Amino acid sequence: MAKLKDSKLIPLVIHNKDEKTDFIALYNPKEISVDRSVPWNKHKSSKGDTHVLEFTNAEPMTLSCELFCDFYEQKGDAYKLFVAPLLALTKVKESGSEEDKRPPKCIFVWGKNFPRFEGVVESVSVKYTMFLPDGTPCRATATVKMKQADQVRTKVRKKRGSGGGSSGTGSGQRGDRTGGTGGGGA
């Protein structure tokens, strides 16, 4: 794992398209996994050892990598300086319309030759591995998982009737509303 500030390496960036902010990795990852699953179902005309497969839909690709931070020498707080900005990519937006109340769409970018990955951060798992004498975490490794998405939407509850008297206890219907922009560049 190469440290970025000691060289002219190009940093890995996860760009938050909604907030127009960037999470910049302190160290580039040593490996990145990209998975693509294409499910095939057994067709009803299959008999015995003769198998007929039927394609229905492709699943979105997933990307995962480990990101590392070390603030021991600076006596820095790994949570505040590294983990919190990374977790912000999973935070549900609280203001705006109902369609906007979702985590942001992101773009994973590393230099010019690694393919851009556009989607959402599906999970962040953090392991703290070193602490300062006062208990402040100063070193951590975060596993980031993203899911490919050309568009993102929020499932919005529609209220019945025009009185708006729904108590939100399950009496409404559910429907999709567009909450993001289509595919394309940053």
Cβ(154)–Cβ(101) below 8 Å: yes
Report field, pTM of the whole predicted structure over 0.95: no
| DSSP labels, 80-114 | IIIIHHHHGGGPPP-SS-GGG-SPPEEEEEETTTS
- Tell me the backbone φ, ψ of residue 99, rounded to 5 degrees: -65, -25
Q: What residue type is assigned to position 15 of the chain?
A: H
**pLDDT category, 47, cuts 50, 70, 90?**
confident
Cβ(41)–Cβ(52) below 8 Å: no
Q: Quick: pLDDT tens for 1-19.
A: 555 455 578 999 999 999 9
